[in-house]
Amino acid sequence: MASGDTSQLDQLLERARSGDASARDALFQRCRAYVGFLAKSHVDSWLMPKVDSSDLIQQTLLEAYEAFPKFTGNTEGEWLAWLKRILRNNATDFVRRFGAAKRRAALEVAIGGGQSSYFRPGPILVDQGESPSSIVSRREQEIEVANALEQLPEEYQQVIILRSLQRLPFNEVAEQMNRSRPATQMLWMRAVRKLTELLGEQ
């Protein structure tokens, strides 16, 4: 996100905290893709048949909206951390509901940690260009990444979430996507390349 966009988000936050209802609605709309991306990355593969990520998105946005008067932060970073904390709590409840014994350690790694820690890819293939994680780490622009991912075709989003976020082995990603391993690797490389191009344009 460019500095001007960051300033715009800070302004929306300030106006929303001052009681401007339209600014509050615009703030939540601006962050919807970000929350959606986090939710999709936090619904582990074994949960997917039982949990629709949209449930986690709606629950998180609803709780954040209702609790907004209690938000005391002033910066974009504090705002994103607050949203992340609400989503983390809801995701933990979802996992507990469907069997904590099956929970993967990767899910906790994705949800916990500091800024951009949810975006930690596995081994990078040779000649595929700069990885999404290095872009996020360098720019620390999580909303921009979420918005760019939302522009990708569904299969690109899926392969990045399974491989780069949930850090599943390529064999397992290929099985879930009903593709061969080589085809899955090529798809992942194209998805990473396209994501990098979108971020470069923005």
Nearest-CA neighbor of 82 among 95, 58, 65, 102?
A: 65
pLDDT tens digits, residue range 157-169? Answer: 889 888 887 788 9
**Same structural domain, 73 and 166:** no
pLDDT category of residue 202 using cuts at 50, 70 and 90:
low
Cβ-based neighbour number of residue 13 at 10 Å = 21
What 3-state DSSP class applies to 37?
Answer: helix
169 vs 50 pLDDT, higher one: 169
To the nearest 10°, the Cα dihedral for 131, 137, 140, 144? 10
- 81/150 Cα distance (integer angstroms): 20
Q: What percent of the chain has pLDDT over 90?
A: 27
The answer to whether residue 199 scores a pLDDT higher than 70 is yes
Average of per-residue pLDDT across 94-116: 50
**Same structural domain, 98 and 173:** no
**Same structural domain, 128 and 171:** yes
What pLDDT was estimated at residue 54?
80
What 3-state DSSP class applies to 70?
Answer: helix
What pLDDT was estimated at residue 63?
94
The answer to whether residue 17 scores a pLDDT higher than 60 is yes
What pLDDT was estimated at residue 26?
92
Dihedral pair phi/psi, residue 92, rounded to 5°: -60, -40
- End residue of a domain, out of 66, 82, 115: 115
The answer to whether residue 137 scores a pLDDT higher than 80 is no
Average of per-residue pLDDT across 137-153: 73
- End residue of a domain, out of 66, 81, 115: 115
Cβ-based neighbour number of residue 12 at 10 Å = 23
Strand ranges for 62-118 from DSSP E: none
**Same structural domain, 38 and 67:** yes
- 83/99 Cα distance (integer angstroms): 24
183 vs 55 pLDDT, higher one: 183
Packing angle, helices 3-17 and 21-42, rounded to 10: 120
pLDDT category of residue 37 using cuts at 50, 70 and 90:
confident
**Same structural domain, 32 and 84:** yes
Nearest-CA neighbor of 162 among 170, 153, 154?
A: 170
The answer to whether residue 183 scores a pLDDT higher than 70 is yes
What pLDDT was estimated at residue 64?
94
DSSP conformation class of 152: S
Average of per-residue pLDDT across 84-105: 70
- 86/29 Cα distance (integer angstroms): 17
Q: Hunting for tokens 């909303």 — which residue is that?
A: 143
Domain of residue 35: give its range.
Answer: 1-115
